[in-house]
Amino acid sequence: MFSFVIKRMLMILPTLFGVSVIAFGLIRLVPGDPVLMMIGERGASPEAYAQMKANLGLDKPILVQYGKFVSHAIQLDFGTSIISRRPVIEEFTSRFPATLELGLFSSFFAILIGIPVGILAAIRRNTWVDYSVMGASLIGYSMPIFWWGLILILFFSIHLGITPVSGRIAMEYDIPSVTGFLLIDTWLIPGAAFAEKWQAFVSSVRHLALPTIALGTIPLATIARMTRSSMLEVLGEDYIRTAKAKGLSRPRIVWIHALKNALVPVVTIIGLILGSIVTGAILTETLFSWPGIGKWLIQSVTSRDYPVIQAGILITSVMIIFVNMLVDLAYAWVNPRMRIKT
């Protein structure tokens, strides 16, 4: 196991190098002069030009530039945003909890519904339960989530009027950020009565509901399908037949004997759904005006805020690389056969 851990950790080095080159090269591959593009063609005094060039680090030889870029990135220094003129890392950390909260809740939503539903479909195989679960998950899997979000808004917000259309919490609340998670921070409002905290909490839950469903739908469908096929495979194994022959009850076989092994490949889904969560978060945040990383990134593309784009791409991909590594390690831990492969 130890050598596997070392090997797997070394494997991320070339990947980290690759994404850093992409983030670094981005600004240099833009056609035209990025400096002029950012300060605007008209009022570019030579001083402003030189300062912007230095700010972007474009006034040194390319290898020096790359070295600087990496050493700054390691110290979480990504320069200042062209639009807000604040350090990029500050902007990032103020928005990240919103995305994390949404991502975590969608993942819980997908896992807590997806796994039981997948098991149900497997044990009721070829019945209407199985067919409707598989049908629904196929539709969920094919769903354009930006449209699904709008349909949810249309039904729950406009038709029924029970959920808000956008944002994280009602305008009247100004919640001081402690953890960054509004579901927790609403309980930590200094000097507030219980009733007020409760109302703020309910407001944040109502804001979170639709984005969670929209973002969680595709992962939910993926997890349900995967759990079903994994469960079916395990239920066909010899040891399950032995358990049946021993006269064990069916629930015991399914929930105690089969489930443990069926869930092993499902561990990998965390890695698999991560990509769709990131892509989905960008769409969901844009749709629901959720003040997170995704919306910020899309805005920065529109406004050509290069330092933000660079940082957003680098930080997100580095996080994906690390999470995938952890998933692989967890998989190798629960399934020793994996350690020999790769």
Partner 1 sequence: MNTTFWQGLKQNRGAVIGLVLITVFAFLAIFAGLIAPYDPSEIFEKSLRLKPFWQNQEALQSPHLGVSHLLGTDDVGRDVLSRLLYGARVSLGIGTLVVLLSASFGTVIGLISGYYGGTVDAVIMRLVDIRMALPSVLLAIVVVTILGPGLSSTIIAVSTASMPSFIRLVRASVLAEKSKQYVQASQTFGASAFRQMFITILPNCAAPLIVQSTLGFSDGILDAAALGFLGLGAQPPTPEWGTMLADSRAFIESDPWLVTLPGLCILFVVLAFNLFGDGLRDALDPRLKRGQ
Binding positions for partner 1, rule: CB under 8 A = 11, 14-15, 18-19, 22, 26, 29-31, 138-139, 141-148, 150-151, 153-154, 158, 229, 232-233, 236, 275-276, 278-279, 282-283, 286, 297-298, 301-302, 304, 306, 309, 312-313, 316-318, 320-321, 324
Pick 144 or 336: Cβ nearer partner 1? 144
Written as one string, the DSSP assignment of 68-109 is: HHHHHHHTT---B-TTT-SBHHHHHHHHHHHHHHHHHHHHHH
Pick 26 or 263: Cβ nearer partner 1? 26
CB 222 within 8 A of CB 273: yes
Nearest approach, Cβ of residue 298 and partner 1 (Å): 6
Pick 232 or 248: Cβ nearer partner 1? 232
Nearest approach, Cβ of residue 86 and partner 1 (Å): 21
Nearest approach, Cβ of residue 209 and partner 1 (Å): 18
Pick 145 or 175: Cβ nearer partner 1? 145
CB 131 within 8 A of CB 117: no
Written as one string, the DSSP assignment of 110-162 is: HHHHHHHHHHHHHHTTTSHHHHHHHHHHHHHHT--HHHHHHHHIIIIIIIS--
What gap in Å lies between CA 82 and CA 53, rounded to an integer? 12
Pick 54 or 139: Cβ nearer partner 1? 139
> Tokens representing 103?
């991502």
Nearest approach, Cβ of residue 5 and partner 1 (Å): 17
* Residues in the chain, total: 342
> Tokens representing 177?
């950020």
Pick 27 or 200: Cβ nearer partner 1? 27
User: What are the φ/ψ torsions at residue 36 (nearest 5 degrees)?
Assistant: -60, -40
Nearest approach, Cβ of residue 199 and partner 1 (Å): 26
Pick 180 or 271: Cβ nearer partner 1? 271
What gap in Å lies between CA 146 and CA 158, rounded to an integer? 17
Nearest approach, Cβ of residue 308 and partner 1 (Å): 11
Pick 75 or 126: Cβ nearer partner 1? 126
Residue with tokens 């945040």: 285
Nearest approach, Cβ of residue 174 and partner 1 (Å): 28
Closest CA to 229 of 111, 112, 118, 113: 118
Q: Sign of the CA dihedral 317, 319, 323, 325?
A: positive
CB 119 within 8 A of CB 227: yes
Q: Please report, as a single letter, which amino acid is at residue 146.
A: F
Q: Please report, as a single letter, which amino acid is at residue 67.
A: G
